[in-house]
């Protein structure tokens, strides 16, 4: 009997060995990061800021896989349904894990349960932008123009359910930040409200004009741009945030390892400065704290979404 028990125990150990080894040598191939917007958007840029550091620390390159649409929900669903082997991750944000759980009525997955946190990356204000050569110079002038020209009072957003969508009025959804911004520059839409860093270079170059930032206080990277609240929009304080999530069944050890590396990267002074130069603020959190943060965000945004009447099937 003792010999048989020993044989069973040994067999169980041998059967478990490949899984232990696989996790112990992680990663042994490139990591795929799905982004919910087009290439060149905020998610893409944040990853590239950390790319060299993560490659050095993890010994593997990263593959960026754009899956734009539905305010990031297309990419989120793709990742949630990916194999939980620790090689597919999603760059999530306020739209997918703050607003989306209430906005979308028929999601085939639960963002918080099926895509738990790995690490929070950064936060930033949104900015109201118009075409650079527009004669409009303030929010008050924009409001007056929209009232006088309701048929032309359209704006573009990075997609349905994004913070830029809920920040505006008659909107035209685009498949990510880059095409939304391009729509303003080429005159397809009158204005946009989107992540401040994404349009910063175009604003500096005169292709776009920034009328106001969405946070109650002015942005440290755009101090010359007044807040919307300063210009008479009451109680307006909206910031966007980004992070990394993984399919729910990914081993906790892998989430912890990648989360620790991302937090360490964002605490590196050189990388942190690059994030700030881009117009965002490093805001690192590990897996457990990031999960708790996202749960609070859903609680904050749920009444806002319901009060707006916005719903997407």
Per residue in 57-102, pLDDT (tens digit) is: 999 999 999 999 888 999 999 999 999 999 999 999 999 999 999 9
Residues 162-203: pLDDT tens digits?
Answer: 444 444 444 455 556 777 888 899 888 898 887 787 788 899
Instruction: Kindly state the average pLDDT of the residues 47-61.
Output: 97
At residue 15 the predicted structure's pLDDT band, cuts being 50, 70 and 90, is: very low
> CB-hemisphere CA count at 13 Å for 196?
32
Token pair of 148, please?
A: 């006088």
Selection from 145, 149, 111, 121 nearest residue 281 by Cα: 121
User: Percent of the chain, pLDDT > 70?
Assistant: 85
User: What pLDDT, in 10s, does the model give residues 2-14?
Assistant: 343 333 343 344 3
3-state per-residue secondary structure call for 175-230: CCHHHHHHHHHCCCCCEEEEEHHHHHHHHHCCCEEEEEECCCCCCCCCCCCCECCC
Cα maximum dimension of the chain: 90
In this predicted structure, the answer to whether residue 298 has a pLDDT above a threshold of 80 is yes
Write down the pLDDT at residue 176: 66
- What domains are there in the chain, each with its CATH number? 30-123+240-308 (3.40.190.150), 124-213 (3.40.190.10)
pLDDT value at residue 238: 85
Mean pLDDT of 264-292: 95
Mean predicted lDDT score pLDDT of the chain: 85
Q: What is the mean pLDDT of residues 130-155?
A: 90
How far from the centroid of its chain's Cα atoms is residue 102's Cα? 17
């Amino acid at each position: 009997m003792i010999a048989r028990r020993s044989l069973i125990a040994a067999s169980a150990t041998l059967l478990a060995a490949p899984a232990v080894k696989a996790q112990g040598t992680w990663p042994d191939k490139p990591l795929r990061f799905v982004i919910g917007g087009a290439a060149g958007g905020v998610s893409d840029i944040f990853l590239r800021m950390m790319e060299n550091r993560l490659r050095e620390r993890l010994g593997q390159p990263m593959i960026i896989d754009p899956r734009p649409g539905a305010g990031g929900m297309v990419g989120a669903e793709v990742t949630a349904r990916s194999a939980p082997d620790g090689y597919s991750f999603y760059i999530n944000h306020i739209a997918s894990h703050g607003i989306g759980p209430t906005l979308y009525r028929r999601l085939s997955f639960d963002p918080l349960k099926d895509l738990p946190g790995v690490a929070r990356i950064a936060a930033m204000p949104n900015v109201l932008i118009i075409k650079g050569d527009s004669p409009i110079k303030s929010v008050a002038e924009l409001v007056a123009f929209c009232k006088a020209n309701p048929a032309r009072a359209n704006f573009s957003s990075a997609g349905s359910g994004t913070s830029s969508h809920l920040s505006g009025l008659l909107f035209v959804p685009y498949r990510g930040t880059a095409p939304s911004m391009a729509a303003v520059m080429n005159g397809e839409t009158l204005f946009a409200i989107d992540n401040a860093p994404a349009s910063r270079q175009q604003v500096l170059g005169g292709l776009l004009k920034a009328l106001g930032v969405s946070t109650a206080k002015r942005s440290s990277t755009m101090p010359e741009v007044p807040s919307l609240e300063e210009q008479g929009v009451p109680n307006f304080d909206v910031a966007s945030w980004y992070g990394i999530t993984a399919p729910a069944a990914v081993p906790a050890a892998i989430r912890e390892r990648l989360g620790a590396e991302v937090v360490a990267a964002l605490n590196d002074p050189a990388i942190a400065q690059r994030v700030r130069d881009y117009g965002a603020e490093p805001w690192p959190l590990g897996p457990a704290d990031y999960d708790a943060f996202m749960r609070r965000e859903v609680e904050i945004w749920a009444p806002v979404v319901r009060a707006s009447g916005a719903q997407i099937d």
